[in-house]
Amino acid sequence: MIEKQIKNRGWIVTAAAFIISLALGILYSWSIFKTEIETIIKSGTPGSFDWTLSSINDPYSVSVLVFSFTMILAGKIQDVIGPKITTIIGGFLVSGGLYISSQSTDYLVWVLGFGVMLGAGVAFGYAAITPPALKWFPPEKTGLIAGIIVSGIALASVYIAPLSKYLISESGLQATMQYLSIAFFFVVIFFTFFIVNPPKGYVPVSKKSDLNEQIYKQVDVTPGIFLKTGLFFKLWFIYFIGAGVGLMVFSFINDMVKKGLGEVAFLGVVILAIGNAVGRVIGGALSDKAGTKRTLIYMFSFQLVLMLTSIFIVNSDNQNPAVLLSLSTLIGFAYGTNLAIFPSATKELYGLKNFGVNYGIMFAAWGLGGFVLSRVSQMLFTSTNSLASSFITASVLLVIGLILIFTIKKA
């Protein structure tokens, strides 16, 4: 009876973490805000947004960078004071960032509100919800649980995009930001009460009696030792490539899909989000069954095939929207697997005691990969006026990634 209650408690924590993850996905509602800001700028409304068109995406870019690097600090705080207070800090920061942005049209205010505060808040929430959920389950479910939780952020655009668009049409952009600020705060604070660590001394029962002890013997590795291991640097760079490659071509493909679908482009957004989320769940579950190394080989090989196929599709004169949508969904699926594989690998190889800060360091690869490779992709497109160069570069990077994966001995 007690074992059943503990098992159910683990799933309750996971469900609460998933819902908070859905709220944290508000970061990805930026495309809706960006479109509205661009419309206002072009309309020339006096006393409103007077930004340059080239700076419209800056609050989002700053938010992503702050998110990825604040994960290290947030992870350390989570390891020390626990998940509940850390999540509440995240809730206050995100809600405050949205509210501050709602009170002004000034560029710097939006960079501070949506960029710095919201980005930091998402990091605190993200860093706090995964570790406690993982602690309730045995190693063979680590990837699945991590995948379920992070899929929430990917799925968020399914409801946030249409909701934000509706609210903006009814009440305007700044009122919408206020509504979202209030809603986010109450959702996060309520479900935070369900985010708890297992009781001291709790060890989840594993159904596998033949787990590879060599893989799991390195438990509770400190960040100092974590950073000195050669395996960390390999995994970090592989993460940089896997996430960065997906992000560097994702925006281009998405734009092409939206143009091809016209007025029903929102269906494309929904399908893409579902593909991304499914990739996170399946990637995590597959890593539980096949191990990190094999799963990375499968996923990087799959990504490589997609990139090589994309070279011919994007150069075609007759681009079929259905083909582009399918391609983009598969790219999103492959990209999403990284967000489940690497937290799972970090937990299994380096333990849970310092998981927050250790994965925060690992997660910086996601932020830098997306930022650097997206910039490279834009530069390549500007100089060649062709998307093919981006897919060729992505293919080369994935080959390098595969070579690195094959050199990993234990994962």
Residue 35: predicted pLDDT: 80
**Model pTM score:** 0.82
Collapsed DSSP state (helix, strand, coil) of residue 206: coil
Q: Are 32 and 86 in contact (CB under 8 A)?
A: no
Least Cα distance to 247 among 146, 332, 311, 153 occurs for: 332
Check residue 152 and give left, alpha or beta (phi > 0: left; psi -120 to 50: alpha): alpha
Could you give the CA distance from residue 161 to residue 32 in angstroms, rounded to a whole number?
Answer: 6
pLDDT at 210 over 50: no
Summarize pLDDT for 249-305 with one digit per residue, the tens.
766 666 666 666 665 566 666 777 888 899 999 999 998 888 888 999 999 999 999
77 Cβ partners below 8 Å, 6+ apart? 86, 89, 124, 127, 356
- Three-state secondary structure call for residue 72: helix
Residues 6+ apart with CB under 8 A from 384: none
* Average pLDDT of every residue of the chain: 84
CATH 1.20.1250.20 for domain 214-411, yes or no, is yes
Which amino acid would we find at residue 272?
L
CA distance 23 to 40: 27
* Domains of the chain, residue spans: 1-197, 214-411
- pLDDT tens across 106-149, in order? 999 999 999 999 999 999 999 999 889 988 888 888 889 989 99
Per DSSP, the chain holds a count of helices (H) and strands (E) of 16, 0
Residue 187 · residue 19 · CB < 8 Å: yes
Q: Rg (Cα) of the chain, in Å, rounded? A: 21
Asked whether residue 364 carries a pLDDT value surpassing 80, the answer given is: yes
Q: Which helix (H) or strand (E) holds 253?
A: helix 230-261
Q: Which CATH architecture has domain 1-197?
A: Up-down Bundle (1.20)
Q: How many CA atoms lie within 13 A of 41 on its CB side?
A: 17
Count the Cβ atoms, other than its own, within 10 Å of residue 330: 18
The reply to whether domains 1-197 and 214-411 share a CATH topology is yes
